[in-house]
A and B are shown apart, each in its own frame.
Chain A
Amino acid sequence: MNRTLYDKIWDSHFVGTRSDGNSLLYIDLQLLHEVTSPQAFEGLQMAKRPLWRVGANLATPDHNVPTESRELGMAGIKDLISLEQVETLNENCKNFNVQQFDILDKRQGIVHVVGPEQGATMPGMTIVCGDSHTSTHGAFASLAQGIGTSEVEHVMATQCLVQNKAKNFEVRVDGLLEEGVFAKDVALAIIGALGTAGATGHTIEYRGDAISALSMEGRMTLCNMSIEAGARAGLVAVDDCTLEYVRGRPFAPKGELWLRALESWKDLYSDDGAHFDNTLSLQAGNIEPQVTWGTSPEMVCGITSSVPDPMAISDPVVSESTRLALGYMGLEAGTPITDIELDQIFIGSCTNARIEDLRVAAHVVSGKSVAKKIKRALVVPGSGLVKQQAEEEGLAKIFVDAGFEWRAAGCSMCLGMNPDQLGEKEHCASTSNRNFEGRQGHKGRTHLVSPAMAAAAAVAGRFVDVRSFF
C-alpha cells in the first residue's frame, strides 16, 4: 500500500493496542523545559515511578530565563517564582539523572533550537515536548508533537504516547519565492488560507519545489507554525539538505552507524499515490511578505494590503472576531499595513532565532540605524551556540551598531514569562509565532513577520516592503 510519510513513521513506532482500545506510539525523544515538566516529575515521584528510559530525555530551561545578565546564572533570575521553576528543573534533572543544558551552559537555549542543533533531532524519530511548537522538529521528517503535562508524565513513565492516529493533510507550495520572501511568509500565508483550525485532527506534510528549496532553518520555521493552523505536527520529507544538516552533530551517529542510519532514513518520504485526506496548494510566486493585523495568526495579509473592514465580512462570527481584534489592536479598518506605527521590535523565538534568521536580519540593518521612535529593538538568539556563532560572524556587531539590544538565549518576548515584555498598547513587529491578546505583555499588540520584515520595520519605524532591500 502506498503510504504517506506520516503513515510510515506511525507504523514504525506503533507499539500495539492497549486493552482499552487505545494505540500506543513509542517515543524516541522527550524534550523538557521548566514550565510544563514540574507537575509531571512530581506525579512520578508521588507514584514512585522511575523514568522508563532516562536517555530518551533532554532538558534545558528557556521560557523563564532572563536574557540579560546571563553571567549571573541562577542569581540573574530576579522573579522568585520563575527562579523556583528553574531550580525545580535543575533538581528534577539531578534526581532523575536527565541530561540538561542548564542556564550557564553555552548549549542552553530554546528547546526547539537546541534539539536540532545538537543532532538530538534526527529523521524518522518520534519526538514530544510539553510545548505546542514541538512541531518544529518535523522539518527533519520526524513526527514531533506538542503534548500536555499529563502526557509528559505518561511518556516519562512508559516511553509511549496514547494516541489515535491523525489524518493526512498535504500542503503544496510550488514555484519560486521572490527575493525578500521567506519561510515565515509561507507559513503565515498557509495559515491565512487554512485558518487557525484548518488542519485540526491532521498531520501536515509540506511538499512542492518551494519547500524543497528551503534550508533546514526555513523548514523548521514552517513546521514550527503548523500548530497555528491546528495541526499537532508538520513534516517535510528527507533529502540531502536534511542529511547534511544532521551529519557530524554531537548526538548524530558516526562511522558505521551513520551509514546504517542513512540507509534507514532514505525512504522517509510519501510514496507516489499515497492518500491525503486534504490538500491545499499555493503558488510561491504569489506570496508577499506577510504581516498579521489581528489577534490570531490567521488574521494576516500581504504588506501591500490594508487592514480589513469587519462590516464587509458576511460571516457574522468572523465579522465579530475581526471587530474585536481591531478594537484590541487599536487599528482602523482600511489602514494600509505600511501605515502601522511601531514601538518595539523583537527578533527571536523558536520560530526565527537560528543563525540564518539572524544573518538575513543583519543583512537588512547593516549600515543603518533603528528608527528613533522605536523604544526598544531586541535580538535574542535561539541558543548560546547561535549567539556565539553570530558574534563570530560579526552579526552581533551589526545589530548593536544599528541600535539593537543583543541578548542571551531564551524564549524572551515571544511569551513574556520573563522580564522581556511589551507595554500596554505598544505595537511590536515580532518574529515569534502568536499574536494572541496579551501574549507578549498585558494589552500588548503583536504583529507577526519574518526576521527580514522585522529588521526593515526597525529601520523605518513602521512596516515597509522588505523586497526593496534585496
Chain B
Amino acid sequence: MEAFVLHTGFAVPLDRANVDTDQIIPKQYLKSIKRTGFGDYLFDSWRFLDSGEIGMTPNERRINRDFVLNEAKYQGASILLARDNFACGSSREHAVWALQEYGFKVVIAPSFADIFYTNCFKNGLLPVSLSEQEVDALFVCAKQDKRIEVDLEKQCVSVEDQSEFYTFEIAENLKKKMLSGMDDIALTLSQSELIERFEAMHRENQPWLFRE
C-alpha cells in the first residue's frame, strides 16, 4: 500500500446522502477476479445511460451529461465530496479500488459506512469526516474550482486563498498505518507468537472449534 501524507487537488461534489456501494461499482463488474479494471465503471449507472458490462470502454458508452462527474470542470478531480453515510451497503472492496483507479485520493463526507471506512485504510484512500456545515462550505469551494489541501499529519483540510481550515478526527492507529503505508499482514505476522499462544489456549478451552 502507498503511504498517504498530504494531498492537494480539485474536488467534485456528489450531492446525495446514503450513496451505496452498489452505485459506486455495480454487481456485474464484481465478476472480475482482479483487483484492477474497475475505474472505468465507477458510478456506472449514473455516469452512463446504457447498461454496461465488463470489457466495455467509456468511449463506447452513452454518457449521462447531467451527472456531476461528467461535467468538464470536474475532470481530473482527485477529491470526492459526498454526503452522510457514504458507501453504505455491500462490503465490496471493489468500491475503493474503483474510486482509486478513477483518480480519487481522498473522500470527504460527514459520515461513512463502517466496512467501506475500514476498506479505505487497507488501500491508502483517505476518508475524511467533517461536520455537515464544513462539508457544505467545501461544496461551495469545489464549485468555485478552488484547490483543496488535505494534510493527514496535521489532520487538517484547507482551501487555497482562504485562511479558514477544518480539522478532522481520525483514530491514531489508523492514521499511523496510513502515514507509513505498511503491510498489514506482515505487521501482524511479526507478532505471530502472540496469536499462537492465544490459539493454543482457545483450542484447550473450546476444542470443538478445531475440527482439523
Contact = CB atoms under 8 A, between A and B. Distances in A.
Given A417-B31, A436-B89, A437-B23, A55 B194 contact: no
Interface string A384-418: 00000000000000000000000000000001110
A69 interface: no
A442 B41 CA distance: 14
A111 B135 CA distance: 39
B115 A20 contact: no
A437 B22 contact: yes
B84 A260 contact: no
Interface stretch (B149-157, B160-168, B195-203): B195-203
B8 interface: no
B20 interface: yes
Contacts of A13: 202
A200 interface: yes
A15 B198 contact: yes
B33 A85 contact: yes
Contacts of B123: 150
B188 interface: yes
A283 B190 CA distance: 50
Nearest to A119: B208
A314 B121 CA distance: 36
Contact of B91 (A18, A63, A130, A157): A130
A321 interface: yes
B contact residues, range: 35 or more
B212 A196 contact: no
A196 B85 contact: yes
Contacts of A164: 171, 173
A257 B171 CA distance: 42
Given A39-B35, A417-B30, A436 B22 contact: yes
B18 A321 contact: yes
Nearest to B1: A150
Nearest to B83: A317
A448 to B, nearest CB: 13
A232 B88 CA distance: 11
Contacts of A162: 184, 188
Contact-residue size bin, chain A (C-beta under 8 Å from the other chain): 35 or more
Contacts of A64: 31
Contact of A21 (B118, B122, B176): B176
Contact of B33 (A38, A163, A231): A38
B66 interface: no
A201 B189 contact: no
Given A36-B93, A438-B26, A196 B198 contact: no
Contact of B31 (A21, A52, A79, A147): A79
Contacts of A28: 209
Interface string A8-37: 000001011011111010101100000110
A151 B118 contact: yes
A185 interface: no
Contacts of B198: 15-16, 26
Nearest to A22: B173
B191 A16 contact: yes
Given A28-B209, A150-B119, A438 B91 contact: no
A116 to B, nearest CB: 15
A416 B122 contact: no
Interface in B13-42: 15-18, 20, 22-23, 26-28, 30-35
Nearest to A14: B198
Interface string B90-134: 111100100000000000000111110011001100000000000
B189 A157 contact: yes
B3 interface: no
Nearest to B96: A148
A148 B115 contact: yes
Given A26-B202, A230-B88, A417-B28, A324 B16 contact: yes
Contacts of A166: 114
Interface of B: 15-18, 20, 22-23, 26-28, 30-35, 45, 51, 54, 83-85, 88-93, 96, 111-115, 118-119, 122-123, 171-173, 176-177, 182, 184-185, 187-192, 194-195, 198-199, 202, 205-212
Given A24-B191, A317-B83, 4 more contacts: A29-B209, A153-B185, A258-B208, A320-B16
Q: Which 9 A-B pairs have the closest CB atoms?
A: A55-B212, A150-B122, A253-B208, A197-B85, A148-B93, A148-B119, A38-B33, A442-B51, A21-B173
